[in-house]
Every structure is written in C-alpha cells, then in structure tokens.
C-alpha cells in the first residue's frame, strides 16, 4: 500500500496507552530521525497539534466551517512560523471512530498524489496520538450546496451554475481517466463541490474514494466487511451501490447526474416522482435558460441517471456536453434583448426502472 511504502503504518501505535482496537489505530510517521524527506513530506506539510490549535484559536466553535459525519472543519490562519502562510481549512476527525481513521488515511494516500485545478489541494496533516487532522486550501465561497440552499448565500446565475458543473465534471473526468488507476470518488454530492475565491469549482471529500482497476471501468465489488455502514449520501447514491455495494466510474456518473438535477431544481428527488422538471425549476433562474441549452443539459442529465450503469455516459462526454450547453446559452444571450425572458415549451420527466422514460420535446427558440 502506498502509505506503508512511505513510512506510514496502520498497525503501530504511538504510545502504549492507545487502545488496541481498529477504531483507535494510528498512523505512525517515522520522520524526525530520517536524514532525508519522504515523498509525503515533500508533498504535504506535517503540522504539530500546537500549530493547528494556534491557527484555529484552540478549535474555537466560532471558526467552524461545516460539520460532517466523522469530522468537523474549521477556518484556520497561519503566520510565517510554520512554513505555511494564509487561511486554510482544518478538518479534524472525530476521535475513536474507525470510519474517521479510514477517511484520514484515504485522503492522505490519494490527495498527496493528485494535482488538478478542479480538485481540492491537501496542504498537510497532523498525526498526534488520537488526533487525526487534515489541512486543505481554504475555499472562501463555500460549497455548491450552500449556494443552492442557503438563503444567506449569493444565488448563482444559470451560466455560473453551468460553469461550476463543467469544472466539477472536469475534475471527475480526471479521476476516472487521468491517473494510472481509475479513482472512484464514491461520495459526489453538492456538498463535496467547493468554490474558491474565483468561483472555480473543486471536488473534495475523498475519504470514501476507491482505487479501481487499471485502464478499465470493470465493476469493483466491495467486501461486506470493508464498510460497516451506508456509504455516500442518500439521494445521490447509484441504485447498484444500494443494491449490491458495487462501485464503478458509472456510479459516480449517476451521483453527478443527481447534482445536475439539483442545480436546476434545488431538489434531486424528482428522479423518483416522475414530476415534470420544468415545473420545478429554481425561481432564481427561471426564464434565464435558453431552450437550446436546456435541451442539451437535460439530455445529458437524463443519460447520467439511466438505471443500467452501462447506459450512462463517461464523464468525458458529460464534460463536453455541458460545455456545449454553455456555448448555446452564451450564443442565445448574445441575441436577446435585456429584460427578455426565455420560455421552455417542454415537458421532461426522469423516471426509475419501473416506469418507461418519457420526454415530450417541443423546444422553442422564441424569447
């Protein structure tokens, strides 16, 4: 395993007082006595617990960015004395949870190797007894979920939503095809897509990610004893994962399709209702979507949500189709007068395997 090759061990304890259960396993880093740097040291800074307490004002609750199942994220600020300067996000794993430890190990193993404009950057980590903490670049504009659901956040325009989706699709495409082995994210939702100060979208939350086979999308079955609880987020998880815990790149595609639906309606449960999508469009963008753009966007969304994994597109195709939708939107915007609104004369439904999929297409280019 990559971590073990770099001096990490999941079987050794830092002190004799640590519990001997799987949930309390620690990663032992043999750094101080080495005359040279390990690969992880070169790619990720190792912080002391004192460094992170100082940066977060002793993990002040007023510094909390968000709280997740096995961790809490804080806003932190470093001065020049630790080799890192500026604002960061500090993710502190809950102590005594086996899943939290697994996520900690997974994020280090994967993110120290990955560099892409649409993936979150791991700056460093702290491994101090029971404290497992990850430090990331700070994403000042929060998550896509925040902008879709938080009334205190600035709402995103339709074009900006498309741009955010394109960036996320690019990052996911890289995970599936840009590395030696396919990386399956397994936890794509609107909370895992973060926005930096330039509103560039970046995929985060790699704690549940899996490394798949070389150069293939062959399903990767997960042993029953590898995960003791539900993986992912309800409402975003592909049906084959719920049925038999089998992950492929097409499972990520399904999850991304639910995000696309949420971007339009702020609700992805329409997958199961058969309710017309056009009647549920977010009022903040209603009238601002060009019919030609809508047709392409909904076509790729529906294909992402095909019940059979093999019928879903690859993320590279999703990325290209979204870029095409954005081009059509920009072209239509350049021709319309200020104050004019678009009218969608379509009825689009997305149905599950128990219903026949229907879409009455009557797209109009009229304003």
In a domain, 191, yes or no: yes
Among the three residues 103, 137, 171, which one is the final residue of a domain in this structure?
Answer: 137
Quote the number of domains for the chain: 2
Q: List pLDDT tens digits, range 246-303.
A: 889 999 999 999 999 999 998 877 777 778 899 999 999 999 999 999 999 999 999 9
Cα separation, 131 vs 1, whole angstroms: 22
> Could you tell me which of 159, 144, 167 has the C-alpha nearest to residue 294?
159
What does the pLDDT read at residue 338?
81
Round to the nearest angstrom and report the end-to-end CA distance of the chain.
58
| Mean pLDDT across the chain | 81
Could you tell me if 193 and 224 lie in one domain? yes
Parent domain of 152: 144-360
The Cα-based distances of 90 to 76, 102, 164, 208 in angstroms read 6, 17, 24, 18
Among the three residues 72, 107, 137, which one is the final residue of a domain in this structure?
Answer: 137
Reported pTM: 0.83
Burial 58-96 (b: 16+ CB within 10 A, else e): ebeeebebeebebbbbbbbebeeebebeeebbbbbbeee
Cα separation, 170 vs 21, whole angstroms: 40
Q: List own/partner pairs for 75-81 with CB under 8 A and 24 or more apart.
A: 75/138, 76/52, 76/135, 78/51
Which of the four pLDDT bands, split at 50, 70 and 90, describes residue 15?
Answer: very low
pLDDT at 360 over 80: no
Could you tell me if 20 and 162 lie in one domain? no
Cα separation, 236 vs 307, whole angstroms: 13
Q: List pLDDT tens digits, range 133-177.
A: 999 999 999 999 999 998 888 899 999 999 999 999 999 999 999
Cα separation, 56 vs 47, whole angstroms: 13
Show the tokens assigned to 264: 């339009």
What does the pLDDT read at residue 356?
41
Q: List pLDDT tens digits, range 181-230.
A: 899 999 999 999 999 999 999 999 999 899 877 655 455 555 444 554 55
DSSP string, 40-79: HHHHSEE--HHHHHHHTTTT-GGGEEEEETTEEEEEEEE-
Mean pLDDT of the region 296-323: 96
Query: Regarding predicted confidence, which is higher, 352 or 313?
Result: 313
Domain harbouring 42, CATH code: 3.30.200.20
Among the three residues 137, 167, 192, which one is the final residue of a domain in this structure?
Answer: 137
Could you tell me if 101 and 200 lie in one domain? no
> Could you tell me which of 170, 227, 178, 232 has the C-alpha nearest to residue 201?
170
Mean pLDDT of the region 356-365: 37
Find all residues with CB under 8 Å of 357, minimum gap 6, and list them: 302, 349, 350, 351
Q: Tell me the three state secondary structure of residue 163.
A: helix
Helical (H) or strand (E) element with 149: helix 144-149
Mean pLDDT of the region 70-90: 85
Could you tell me if 355 and 326 lie in one domain? yes
Cα separation, 353 vs 272, whole angstroms: 10
> Could you tell me which of 70, 75, 145, 82 has the C-alpha nearest to residue 106?
70
């Amino acid at each position: 395993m990559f971590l073990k090759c770099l001096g990490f061990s999941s079987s050794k304890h830092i002190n004799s007082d640590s519990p001997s259960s799987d949930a309390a396993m620690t990663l032992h880093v043999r750094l101080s006595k080495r005359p040279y740097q390990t690969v992880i040291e070169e790619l990720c800074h190792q912080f002391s617990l004192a460094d992170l307490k100082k940066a977060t004002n002793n993990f002040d609750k007023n510094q909390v960015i968000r709280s997740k199942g096995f961790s809490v994220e804080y806003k932190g600020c470093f001065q020049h004395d630790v080799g890192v300067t500026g604002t960061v996000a500090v993710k502190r794993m809950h102590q005594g949870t086996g899943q939290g430890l697994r996520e900690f190990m997974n994020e280090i193993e994967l993110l120290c190797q990955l560099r892409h404009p649409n993936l979150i950057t791991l700056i460093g980590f702290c491994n101090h007894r029971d404290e497992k903490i990850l430090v990331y670049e700070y994403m000042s504009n929060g998550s896509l979920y925040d902008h879709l659901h938080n009334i205190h956040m600035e709402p995103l325009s339709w074009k900006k939503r498309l741009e955010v989706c394109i960036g996320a699709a690019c990052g996911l495409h890289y995970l599936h095809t840009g590395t030696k082995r396919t990386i399956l994210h397994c936890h794509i939702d609107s909370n895992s897509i973060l926005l930096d100060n330039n509103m560039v979208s970046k995929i985060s939350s790699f704690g549940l990610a899996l490394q798949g086979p070389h150069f293939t999308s062959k399903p990767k079955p997960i042993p029953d004893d590898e995960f003791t609880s539900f993986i992912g987020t309800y409402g975003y998880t592909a049906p084959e994962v719920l049925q038999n815990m089998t992950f492929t790149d097409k499972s990520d595609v399904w999850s991304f399709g639910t995000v696309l639906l949420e971007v339009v309606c702020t609700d992805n449960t329409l997958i199961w209702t058969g309710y017309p999508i056009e009647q549920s469009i977010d009022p903040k963008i209603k009238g601002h979507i060009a019919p030609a753009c809508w047709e392409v966007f909904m076509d790729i969304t529906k294909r992402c949500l095909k019940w059979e994994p093999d019928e879903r597109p690859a993320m590279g195709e999703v990325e290209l189709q979204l870029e095409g939708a954005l081009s059509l939107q920009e072209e239509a915007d350049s021709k319309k007068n200020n104050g004019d609104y678009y009218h969608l004369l379509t009825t689009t439904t997305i149905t599950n395997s128990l219903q026949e999929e229907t879409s009455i297409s009557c797209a109009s280019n009229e304003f």
